Amino acid sequence: MASSRPRDLQLNENGRLRHFLTIEGLSRDLLIRILDTAESFAALPGRPVKKVPLLRGRIITNLFFENSTRTRTTFELAAKLLSADVINFNIGTSATSKGETLLDTLRNIEAMHSDMFVVRHAQSGAAHFIAEHASPRVSVINAGDGRHAHPTQAMLDMFTIRKHKGDFTPLRVAIVGDVLHSRVARSQILALNTLGVSEVRVVGPRTLLPSDARSMGVHVFHDLAEGIRDVDVVIMLRLQNERMDGALLPSEHEYFRLYGLTDERLENAKPDAIVMHPGPMNRGIELDSAVADGPRSVILQQVSYGIAVRMAVLSMAMQSQADLEVEA
């Protein structure tokens, strides 16, 4: 039986996750379901037999049009732990570098019988475009598109927060740094507000915060000490110099003087506050090494938890494909 087009591109008619393109529009219940599913996978990497057969016989293709080591590696490992076969598409030597259109590239890779595309692209909306034009039997996971969204990074950050803090509702969270150019920050803000935290703050110089920041459901601070005062979670962001147009900062040294996180400045947060960074981090610019390596840092845990969260998203999206196969 043919299935009609879902009203929401990300969900199938049974309310299952078909594509994972953005946090926007997803319910709190679905985000909690992702976190709960990730919890069931979190212990696997430490076991003698790490693999589970959930995606045996499935083919997952990593389409990384933009460089990334950490994200691509964790997606690849997540897929292999689920027993899927993985293809890493080498964009540097691909036909797209020779003038082939994105749509033609998509059609050619579909002809190789992939079941899922994990897409990273420098252009905002690229993953959404691919999802709209892909075969109904292919799921698309957004691994970061331009300044728009990075939903799996946001969800691994939410998983990290829940592991260390439990209930989201009483928490105050500060996101510090280059929010303007950060797709991660946008996804984090959406996820935090959907999960019902008490307060989300963004902290940084005016030149690195969106002009409409308040409309995103955050409180805006330009002073670091005030911005992290009494917060439970401090998320530091990388300065994305490659996305900046013009001189938005006097210097990196001046940025660290005003917004770099040190042990002394961290005293403004709650005594049990945790420090996060989606990576890659620049020591001595965004935060001091004493903080990055200190007892309140959970930066390495974020990387580990990323495997479980990406396993959750891959398995949940592939389940929606199983729904289609049953209907057919």
Q: Do domains 28-149+304-327 and 151-302 have the same CATH topology?
A: yes
Helix (H) or strand (E) holding 301: helix 299-327
How far is the C-alpha of 101 from the C-alpha of 129, rounded, in Å?
12
SS3 for 223?
coil
User: What are the strands of the beta sheet with 219-221, ordered from one edge?
Assistant: 219-221, 199-203, 172-176, 233-236, 274-276
Which residue in 22, 61, 71, 194 is the catalytic one? Answer: 71
Catalytic residue check, 71: yes
Which residue in 150, 186, 238, 270 is the catalytic one? Answer: 150
The per-residue pLDDT for range 279-318, each reduced to its tens digit, is 889 999 999 999 999 999 999 999 999 999 999 999 999 9
Are 164 and 143 within 8 A, CB to CB? no
Catalytic residue check, 33: no
Work out whether the CA dihedral 23, 209, 224, 292 comes out positive or negative: positive
- Choose among 20, 21, 34, 70: nearest CA to 278: 70
Are 87 and 110 within 8 A, CB to CB? no
Which residue in 70, 80, 283, 296 is the catalytic one? Answer: 70
Are 191 and 154 within 8 A, CB to CB? yes
Is the model more confident about 263 or about 94? 263
**pLDDT grade for 104, boundaries at 50, 70 and 90:** confident
At position 184, the amino acid (one-letter code) is V
Burial of 39 (0-12, 13-18, 19+ CB in 10 A): middle
Are 204 and 258 within 8 A, CB to CB? no
How far is the C-alpha of 301 from the C-alpha of 310, rounded, in Å?
14
**25-34, 235-244, 281-290: which range is least confident on average?**
235-244
Q: Vertex 67, ends 62 and 71: CA angle to 5°? A: 60
What are the extents of the domains in the chain? 28-149+304-327, 151-302
168's tokens: 């989201």
Return phi, psi of residue 145, to 5°: -135, 110
Catalytic residue check, 120: yes
pLDDT at 65: 87
Catalytic residue check, 70: yes
CATH class of this structure's domain 151-302: alpha beta
How far is the C-alpha of 309 from the C-alpha of 328, rounded, in Å?
29
Fold observed for domain 28-149+304-327: Rossmann fold (3.40.50)
Catalytic residue check, 98: yes
The per-residue pLDDT for range 199-224, each reduced to its tens digit, is 999 999 999 999 999 999 999 999 99
- DSSP string for residues in 263-295: HHHHTTS-TT-EEE--S---BTTTB-HHHHTST
Which residue in 16, 19, 58, 120 is the catalytic one? Answer: 120
Cβ neighbours of residue 262 under 8 Å, at least 6 residues apart? 287, 288, 290, 291
- Residue 145's beta-bridge partner residues? 121, 149
**pLDDT grade for 323, boundaries at 50, 70 and 90:** low
